[in-house]
Amino acid sequence: MGARRSARFLARSAAGVLAAAAVTVGVAVPASAAPLWPGGPDISLPPIPGITAPAPGVPTPPVAPPAPVEAPRGPANFSAPALNPSAGEVVGVAQPIIVRFAAPIDDRAVAERAIDVTTSAGDVAGRFFWFSDSQVRWRPDVFWPANTTVTVTAGDASSTFTVGDAIVTTADDDTKTITVTRNGEVVRTMPTSMGKVGHETPNGTYIVGERFRDMYMDSSTYGVPVDAPEGYRTYVEYATRMSNSGIFVHAAPWSVDSQGVENVSHGCLNVSTEDAKWFFETAQKGDPVVVQNTDGGILNGRDGLGDWQL
């Protein structure tokens, strides 16, 4: 507001100066005018380039202030970026808004001004963070209010999605237990086994991503050959991704005796088949999974599902 107020003040001041100049030159004083009083100053003025005095008796036309110039709302290549979540999706309370542009953005501040986020819950404070010159993300400062409608517009693109119930999962290495709440009420408690020594599960707030009814987990995907001493290729069921680095909540019937007792996984949250199936069917995209009290450091905020560390 201060910048706009100053701009308007300067525009009015400039208009006043121009108007005053027009009135002055409108006097049509001869080149060698007499003083207004004996010994007084000569009131003759030098001509002002580009301004011609009107004829005597002709009123001076008003001088309009210059039209304000509005700052551009977005860069030239800001048409129809891809938006995530897409229209109609239902997501969890930790889900960020992801805007992917068709081309790199030169002026990030201009791009941010062209992105609007509104909610049915009123104003929700949040901030932008850039993953690259062609991808910016926005998330609230705290989790979204549950059961809220959110609309994001960016350039020519728009998406309206819904934040569902607040399903918050906490995995605590002190108790080796996973606790799931829905809108503040505990709905399930599950014993777990997390990452063993050398593969400790990082602490932090993860975001639920894709889900697989079954899949093969392969150590070669992060650089450890399957035939190496620490290598593996294991079939698992009910796998719910919580990091792009390969951490899942999944069924591990082979470690049931260790769940709730000791950590034996390569970083994933091992649970029973029954608990894994329940979580697979209950968790939704964007739900937070908070891991705490491990020796695994902090989840990388650039993981892609680690936005809450940024």
pLDDT in tens, 266-293: 999 999 999 999 999 999 999 999 999 9
As given in the structure block, the two tokens for residue 41 are 């100053």
Would the pTM count as exceeding 0.85?
Answer: no
| Alpha-carbon distances of 266 from 92, 198, 217, 223, rounded to whole Å | 27, 8, 11, 13
| Alpha-carbon distances of 33 from 20, 27, 28, 38, rounded to whole Å | 20, 12, 10, 13
Q: Is 268 a catalytic residue?
A: yes
pLDDT of residue 230: 85
Q: Which of these is catalytic: 268, 276, 291, 299?
A: 268
Q: Is 65 a catalytic residue?
A: no
> Does this chain's domain 82-163 share its CATH topology with 167-309?
no
- Picking from 112-126, 171-185, 215-229, which range would have the lowest pLDDT averaged per residue? 215-229
Tell me if 277 sits within 8 A of 82, measured CB to CB. Answer: no
- Cα–Cα distance, 186 to 164 (Å, whole number): 17
| Alpha-carbon distances of 57 from 28, 147, 218, rounded to whole Å | 10, 72, 94
What are the extents of the domains in the chain? 1-70, 82-163, 167-309
- CATH topology assigned to domain 82-163: Immunoglobulin-like (2.60.40)
pLDDT in tens, 6-57: 332 233 333 333 333 333 333 333 443 444 334 444 434 444 444 444 445 5
Domain 167-309 carries which CATH code? 2.40.440.10
Q: Which of these is catalytic: 211, 250, 266, 285?
A: 250
* Angle, vertex CA 65, rays to CA 64 and CA 69, nearest 5: 130
Tell me if 253 sits within 8 A of 241, measured CB to CB. Answer: no
- Picking from 13-22, 83-92, 154-163, which range would have the lowest pLDDT averaged per residue? 13-22
pLDDT confidence band for 229 (50 / 70 / 90): confident
